[in-house]
Structure formats: structure tokens, C-alpha cells
Amino acid sequence: MSDDTAADGGEFSYDIARILKALPHRYPLLLVDKVKAIDLGESIHAVKAVSFNEEFFQGHFPGAPIMPGVLQVEAMAQAAAILGIETLELAGTGKLVFFMGIENAKFRAPVTPGCLLDLNVEFVQKRSRVYKFKGTASVEGKTTCQAEFTAMIGDPPK
């Protein structure tokens, strides 16, 4: 599948402008830069371009910068949120995707500045407003992080 067609053959353009419409996250916590492929109701392949300018590199770790594993999980969760929002056609409705749980998280290799972090996430289970996902983060085909996580779609807090 090319970068400009959806799994069903329909056109899509998941550049940063469309990501900003789907997610409420903003700098410095927006961790998805591009969606390369999406199969609505099934899976998503997104990318985070890891730059030395990321704020977390100032303290993690000076002289040996490594992207924190929890931020890799957050990046996968944001990709899952895009998948959920787009699948349910909720972009622009104000609905949010809330993290509920993380299971079986494993951190396999460091992510350093200059990497393109591939985020591959798929639905595992769908129930009403609660969804379970399985995700893998990788750099050049090498797994850096994997986890299963649960999220819920809801209204923003008042």
C-alpha cells in the first residue's frame, strides 16, 4: 500500500495537520509525526521522528541521550488513539481517548536522537467505549518496545 492510499483504496493524508485534528496533544507531548498507513477498525502504522531537540533528552541522559520507554508506550497509545478516533469517526467531536492500563510492556533496545520510530498498533478487543490494543515500536525493523494497553473513549473532564 502506498503512503497516500488507505487499505480500502481510498485517499488519505495523515500529515501533522490531520494528526492535530484527531488528537488533542500538542508540543511537547505530541509524539506522532506521520501516519503511514491505517486500516480502519484494524491497525495503524505511524512514525515519530526522534530529534535531539526533544526536551526529555536534557535529562535522560546527558551525554548519552535515550528516549524514555514510557514515552515510547505513550507514542504507541497516541497512534492507537488516532486509529480509534478515525475508526469511530470522532475527530472534531471533543471526545478524548483515556489510557486505562498497560500490560506486558517490554523494552528491547534504546531509541536515540535521529531515529525514525515506527509505531505499529492493532486492535485486540473492542467493547462499547473500552478498547484493548497491542503495539510494537521499532527502529529499522528492530523492536525497541512492545506492550498491550487499554483505553477508553469519553468526554473531557469538566
Q: Domain for residue 78, yes or no? A: yes
Residue-number span of the structural domain to which 43 is assigned:
16-154
User: Could you give phi then psi for residue 8, rounded to 5 degrees?
Assistant: -90, 5
Pairing type for strands 130-139 and 142-154 reads: antiparallel
Q: How far apart are CA 110 and CA 59, in angstroms?
A: 15
For residue 6, being part of any structural domain is answered with no
Residue 7 resides in a domain:
no
Contact between residue 20 and residue 27 where contact means Cβ atoms under 8 Å apart: no
CATH of the domain at 126: 3.10.129.10
Q: Give domain status of residue 95, yes or no.
A: yes
The owner of cell 511537547 is 28
Residue 1 lies in a domain: no
Count of domains for the chain: 1
57/59 Cα distance (integer angstroms): 5
pLDDT band at 9 (very low <50, low <70, confident <90, very high): very low
For 31-43, how does the pLDDT look when each residue is reduced to its tens digit (9 = 90+)? 999 999 999 999 9
With beta carbons less than 8 A apart as the criterion, state whether 52 and 114 touch.
yes
**Would 10 be classed as within a structural domain?**
no
Catalytic residue (choose from 34, 60, 129, 132): 60
Give the pLDDT mean for 2-17: 58
Residue 93 lies in a domain: yes
The predicted structure's pLDDT at residue 14:
86
Sign of CA dihedral 16, 54, 90, 157: negative
Q: Residue 2: inside a domain, yes or no?
A: no
Q: Please name every residue paired with 142 in a beta bridge, in sequence order, or none if there are none.
A: 139
Specify the pTM. Answer: 0.91
pLDDT digits (tens, 9 = 90+) for 46-57: 999 999 999 999
Contact residues for 105 (Cβ-Cβ < 8 A; gap 6+): 69, 73, 145, 146, 147
Q: Is 60 one of the catalytic residues?
A: yes
- The span from the CA of 135 to the CA of 49, in Å, is 17
